[in-house]
Amino acid sequence: MSSLDPVLLEILGNKFASVTEEMCLTLQRTGRTLYVKETADFACALAGLDGRFFAYPRSIGVSGFVGLECLPAIEAVIATQGALEPGDVILTNDPYRSTGLATHLPDLHMIEPYFHDGEIVAYGWCFVHCSDVGGRVASSISPVNTEIFQEGLRIPPVKLMRRGEMSPEVKLFLDANSRTPEANMGDIRAMLASLATGRRRVAQMLGQHGAFELTAAQEALMSYAAGKAEAVLRQMPEGRYSFADYLDDDAASRLPVRVAVTIEIKDGKVHLDFTGTDPQVATAMNIPSCGRPHAWLTLRMLALVQTLDRSAPLNAGLLRPLSITTPLGSLVNPEEPAATGVRHAAAIRVNDILNGAFGIALPDVLPAAASGTVIPIVMSEPKPTGGRMVQVIEPLIGGTGARRGHDGVDGRDSGISNLANNPVETVEAELGVEVLHYALRSDSGGAGQWRGGCGMELSFRVLTDGSHVLGRGMERLLFRPWGQAGGQPGQPGSLVINEGHPRERRLGKIDVLEVQAGDIVTFRTPGAGGWGDPMQRAPEAVLADVEAGFVTAERARRDYGVALTGGRIDTEATAALRSAAGTNAGTVFGPERDTWDGVFAPALMDRLNAALLALPLSRRQSRRREIFETVLADLPTNFPRSPVSDTQREAAARRLETCLNTI
């Protein structure tokens, strides 16, 4: 492996990682806005001369950006604004002009070159999700934006700081293009403070260890991590593994959005090919990867290595054995000017398909699908003094998927973010709501030899007329979190107003919902997928779930073939039920997906997406819409929620074939 002494390597690895955490703590301490203080939507790291992160914080800030690349932004600045000098700091937020360093406009990214004896020895990097960068809506993000121009001020890589002085021109542009210029400047100053912390601590390390060791360590740490990743990949059977999944819709239409991947594992390396993924959408869910092995597309790979080797250092070397194909113009490599504001929504499903594909290779290691949803439930109510009070009630998530030997975790899921919830008492102290029910959702976890984690249920009574409820991020209301190895999928999510009352309304996805005092709003998040044939689950484990209330006695009988009488297992009846049940195997997507695939078969979808991508960008969306309208024309309006007849299915599939042949 590396040429550096294995003791020094460990020491410097620890120290560099610790410097990045100190940078984060400085940023968090001095930052001003909610995103910094509460949700820790920021990160800091150290990059080498190749612009890749050789040190990244483990326990604070956004964990997923290890794979970002700084070099394109650095080169763009040098090409247009001259060489970097001590005290210069680059600022950018534009996904396209920073070649994927930034991934949506509210994320402000900064890079500072760290010098030693007139030479750059490393770069400090940090980003913050700031409050607002202008655009069509407050806070700049809306799922229904169609172009990046609606999403706010685009900042191409520029020198914000020149030799330690803030560029007045850049500041004027920034201040003029935000609804919250002061808060933004507060966060920018916190970012500069964190970069200064990094500079000071790197200088201290240079004094202790010398420039030669420090630069040698950067490469050594990356190749050390690469060695760890390769060792993990070599544990996997070589081969090609394909997996596809759907987002319920693209936020503007009811058409599902497909993400697909084929991974090829060979010789300690892995290639991810996203061919078969839908064309970019006319909403803000696109992931601007710029064709690179981007952080948003490779997160699961990092998590997998870290899971199988906890001693692996967290740096970009983990991605060295990985290469990628992302069709240009697709959801995962959109062309300018695609909107990208809510790219994390698609990233959640990217995580799921990588999980599914790696799960075929390593069935004993990877779990079934997690609930795959993060819904910050936001309440906006009129204040007596005028204006509106806006506050998160709870960020609702679901559970984690089961895996061989372990049930999923109920009501927790750190797959995308690891946010804390809000105490109900502080919510009630500030908002006009009464939280009636904040609980795990019984029977929602997918049945399996190991049960999927339960989703959650939040029910609250509105106390103020004219309030608005926002539930962005609702997903898996249609396509369920799939089960693995014969495990069943979790229950889909739902939203009900005044459940059980005469005024009951069952709603699908909402953006903004107007409610009145007395209304009761109930959100349910999906349960996660189960693992293994539920008929193989130990009856004692089923009984324990029934006693704890995670599973009802009816479902114990129906889903697990376990009969309970008077709180005890009826052994004979159980044996009879189980021998009558068929066996379950493979990935189980659930009835909606099966119905969908009956018409839109995977092979046809691959062909469709290839054909659509061959069209010019301007015609792709409209052509796609036409095709789906044609195919769906004679199907029931709630397709694929209810099953269709064979005749209907075959006719629709024939229409799809015809369309494919005439694109």
Partner 1 sequence: MKDLAIGATGTTGRLRIGIDVGGTFTDFVMADAETGRVALYKEPSTPDDPSRALIEGLDKFLAREGMAASDVGGLMHGTTIGLNAIIMRRGAKIGLIVTKGYRDILEIARCRMPSSFDLHAQKEVPLVPRARVVEIDARFDRDGKLTRAPSEAELDRVAREVSALGLDAAALMLINGYADPETEAGIAKALSDRIEALSISSAAAIWPEIREYERTLVACLNAYIQPLMDAYFARLTEGLARIGVTAPLLVTASNGGSLSVGSAVARPVETILSGPASGVMAAVRQAGQSGMDNIITFDMGGTSSDMAVATEGTAGIATRTDIGGLPLVLPVVDVNAIGAGGGSIIWADAQGVLKVGPQSAGAHPGPVSYGRGGTEPAVTDCFIASGFIDPANFGGGSMPLDGDAARAALEAVAERIGMSGEDRAARLAEGALAVASAGMAGSLFRTMAERGLDPRDFVLLPFGGAGPTHANLLAEEIGIARILVPQAAGAYCAMGAAGADLRRDFVRSLRAGLTEASAADAEATFAALQAEGEAWLDDELPEIAERRAERSADMRYAGQAYELRVDLRPGDDAAAYAEAFHREHERIYGFRDAGAPVEIGTIRLAMIGAGQPLAPSTATGTGAPVRTRRPLYYKGAWVEASVYDRAGLGEGAKITGPAVVEQPETTTVILPGWAARVDEQGNLIIERTPA
Site string for partner 1, 182-201 (x = CB under 8 A): ----x------x---x---x
Q: Of the listed pieces 127-135, 265-273, 274-282, 434-442, which binds partner 1 according to CB under 8 A?
A: 434-442
296-315 binders of partner 1 (CB under 8 A): 302-304, 306-307, 310-311, 314
Q: Does 349 bind partner 1 (CB under 8 A)?
A: no
Give the residue, chosen from 78, 436, 538, 601, that forms a contact with partner 1 under the rule CB under 8 A: 436
Give the residue, chosen from 239, 423, 586, 636, that forms a contact with partner 1 under the rule CB under 8 A: 423
62-121 binders of partner 1 (CB under 8 A): 63
444-473 binders of partner 1 (CB under 8 A): 456, 459
Nearer to partner 1, 62 or 166 (CB): 62
Please say whether the beta carbons of 396 and 456 come within 8 A.
Answer: yes
Q: Of the listed pieces 8-16, 112-120, 121-129, 574-582, which binds partner 1 according to CB under 8 A?
A: 8-16
Nearer to partner 1, 439 or 601 (CB): 439
Q: Of the listed pieces 41-49, 404-412, 470-478, 507-515, which binds partner 1 according to CB under 8 A?
A: 404-412
567-596 binders of partner 1 (CB under 8 A): none
609-648 binders of partner 1 (CB under 8 A): none
Burial 264-300 (b: 16+ CB within 10 A, else e): bbeebbbbbbbbbbbbbbbbbbbbbbbebbbbbbbbb
Name the β-bridge partners of 406. 403
| Residue 438 beta carbon to partner 1: minimum distance, rounded to whole angstroms | 6
Q: Of the listed pieces 2-10, 491-499, 526-534, 588-596, which binds partner 1 according to CB under 8 A?
A: 2-10
| Residue 389 beta carbon to partner 1: minimum distance, rounded to whole angstroms | 9
Q: Does 37 bind partner 1 (CB under 8 A)?
A: yes
Q: Does 138 bind partner 1 (CB under 8 A)?
A: no
| Residue 19 beta carbon to partner 1: minimum distance, rounded to whole angstroms | 8
Q: Of the listed pieces 160-168, 402-410, 533-541, 590-598, which binds partner 1 according to CB under 8 A?
A: 402-410
Who contacts 398 (Cβ-Cβ below 8 Å, separation ≥6)? 370, 371, 372, 373, 411, 413, 444, 453, 454, 455, 456, 476, 481, 490, 493, 525, 526, 527, 528
Considering only CA atoms, which of 417, 409, 496 is closest in space to residue 454?
A: 409
Would you state the structure tokens that stand for residue 277, as one six-digit string?
A: 């993924």
Q: What is the dihedral of CA 190, 343, 298, 270, to 10 degrees?
A: -150
| Residue 498 beta carbon to partner 1: minimum distance, rounded to whole angstroms | 16
With residue 351 as reference, give the H or E element that holds it: helix 343-361
Nearer to partner 1, 197 or 488 (CB): 197
Q: Does 403 bind partner 1 (CB under 8 A)?
A: yes
C-alpha 600, offset from chain centre: 25
Q: Does 365 bind partner 1 (CB under 8 A)?
A: yes
| Residue 348 beta carbon to partner 1: minimum distance, rounded to whole angstroms | 14
Q: Which residue has the tokens 């970002």?
A: 68
Quote the CA–CA distance of 116 and 120 in Å, as a whole number.
6
Who contacts 387 (Cβ-Cβ below 8 Å, separation ≥6)? none
Who contacts 379 (Cβ-Cβ below 8 Å, separation ≥6)? 389, 390, 391, 392, 393, 431, 433, 467, 468, 469, 470
Give the residue, chosen from 65, 96, 127, 224, that forms a contact with partner 1 under the rule CB under 8 A: 224
Residue 464 is which amino acid?
Answer: T
Would you state the structure tokens that stand for residue 310, as one six-digit string?
A: 């906890």
Would you state the structure tokens that stand for residue 356, as one six-digit string?
A: 């599914």
